[in-house]
Amino acid sequence: MRAMHMPSDHPLLLRIVDDLAVRGWSQQNIFLPQALTLELAAECRKRAAEGELAPAAVGRGPAQEIREGIRGDHIQWLEPGQADCCDTYLGLMDSLREALNRGLFLGLEDFESHFALYPPGAFYLKHLDRFRDDDRRMVSAVIYLNPDWLPEEGGQLRMYLDDAVEYDVEPVAGRLVVFLSGEVPHEVLPATRERLSLTGWFRRRGSEPF
């Protein structure tokens, strides 16, 4: 699969930039082509079957620990060159990074992302994506990889917005949700079937070395 890149003034990217500027979050129901979404889902399942996904920890650095009472997903970080479909996805996210910098002047330098597989019944309690002692994460981006998802299967991303508003996002294949990492508390509700996603963060330069 060839690398995929969007110009930073693509209408889809501009909608995301405008949404973030106005309300701090954006939902695009069809962001990835169906074929790419299916390839990414297959890649996630292949890695899970080969034992490459590990239980996700909470916290960072030496304080990291596995706490399934807080989060129950299994993850693996993406690295360039591992799979064509992942490189294509990373290329699209770099297009979005350029658009965010051009429209919002965020100074985003890189993007980190991992596959996330939630087994049936797993969840992630309400949290913010920005660490207290590390403010590099500026914008969170989640792509869902679940074809034929039904609302009654659960697994929604619940965002807690201004004025105590709760907004639920169904984890439907190809859907993208983007939000400001330090400003939108959110949680993942339990589902009755496996729930797959790619979760990532656009980061600015921090005071610590990478």
Q: Under a CB-based contact definition with an 8 Å cutoff, are residues 138 and 180 in contact?
A: yes
Alpha helices (H) in the chain, listed in sequence order: 11-23, 34-49, 84-104
Report DSSP state, residue 162. G
Q: Under a CB-based contact definition with an 8 Å cutoff, are residues 59 and 132 in contact?
A: no
pTM of the model: 0.89
pLDDT in tens, 139-148: 999 999 999 9
The CA radius of gyration of the chain, in Å to the nearest whole number, is 16
User: How far is Cα 65 from Cα 20, in angstroms, rounded to an integer?
Assistant: 32
pLDDT in tens, 13-71: 999 999 999 999 999 999 999 999 999 999 999 999 999 998 876 555 555 555 556 78
The dihedrals phi and psi of 168, each to the nearest 5 degrees, come to: -105, 135
pLDDT value for 64: 53
Q: Under a CB-based contact definition with an 8 Å cutoff, are residues 91 and 49 in contact?
A: no
What is 30-58+68-204's CATH topology?
A: Jelly Rolls (2.60.120)
pLDDT at 72 over 50: yes
User: How far is Cα 169 from Cα 69, in angstroms, rounded to an integer?
Assistant: 22
Closest CA to 146 of 50, 57, 3, 32: 32
Query: How many Cα atoms within 13 Å fall on the side-chain side of residue 35?
Result: 4
